[in-house]
């Protein structure tokens, strides 16, 4: 009988270990950050382009394939600014020659950003435009000047 009790206790212990094993606690899914940034980084450059032959600014080397597709032959960077703008926020910066640019981020989503751009030369408004720029792409403003020159303003949106 003692043997039967030991055998029964052993069977109960085995049954308890095999059938009632503790289940692992499920790990909650990680909270993923939103794929949409709360702000947009906007780069604004001012490039003086000339139809006449001449040397180009080496700081523009990454842009040269695109710049060479224009009717201009030489390029000098006058200004470069980096802005970080949140939706509905506006930022302005002074540019060479007494100019000023204001950029307002009207909205952005996963594929594009909508910007309001104003370029002033003193009190004269040269540009007042709303543009939509694809995410991580650029947009060019071209302002023709005198005697074969122009101001090129590449505006790049990154987020």
Specify burial of residue 7 (Cβ count, 10 A radius: 0-12, 13-18, 19+): exposed
What is the secondary structure of 83-140 as a DSSP string? Answer: EEEETT-EEEEE-GGGEEEEEEEEEE-SSEEEEEEEEEETTEEEEEEEEEEETT-EEE
Counted residue by residue, the chain has a size of 159
Question: Closest by alpha carbon to 156, among 27, 42, 4?
Answer: 42
Residue written as token pair 């709360």: 38
How would you write the pLDDT of the chain (159 residues) with one tens digit per residue?
Answer: 454 444 444 444 444 454 545 566 777 766 666 679 899 999 999 999 999 999 999 999 999 999 999 999 999 999 999 999 999 999 999 999 899 999 999 999 999 999 999 999 999 999 999 999 999 999 999 999 988 999 999 999 999
CB 105 within 8 A of CB 89: yes
CA angle 80, 115, 152 (to 5 degrees): 40
CB 154 within 8 A of CB 47: yes
CA angle 115, 126, 142 (to 5 degrees): 70
pTM of the model: 0.74
The 10 Å Cβ neighbour count of residue 68 is 11
Half-sphere exposure at residue 96, Cβ-oriented, CA atoms within 13 angstroms: 13
Residue 10 pLDDT? 43
């Amino acid at each position: 009988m003692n043997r039967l009790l030991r055998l029964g206790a052993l069977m109960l212990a085995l049954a308890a270990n095999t059938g009632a094993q503790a289940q692992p606690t499920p790990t909650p899914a990680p909270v993923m950050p939103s794929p949409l940034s709360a702000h947009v980084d906007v780069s604004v450059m001012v490039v003086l382009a000339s139809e006449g032959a001449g040397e180009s600014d080496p700081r523009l080397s990454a842009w040269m394939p695109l710049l060479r597709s224009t009717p201009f032959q030489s390029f000098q960077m006058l200004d470069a600014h980096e802005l970080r703008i949140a939706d509905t926020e506006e930022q302005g910066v002074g540019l060479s020659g007494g100019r000023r640019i204001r950029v307002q981020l009207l909205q952005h989503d996963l594929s594009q950003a909508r910007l309001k751009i104003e370029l002033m030369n003193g009190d004269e408004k040269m540009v007042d435009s709303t543009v939509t720029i694809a995410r991580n792409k650029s947009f060019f403003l071209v302002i023709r000047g005198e005697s074969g020159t122009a101001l090129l303003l590449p505006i790049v949106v990154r987020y």
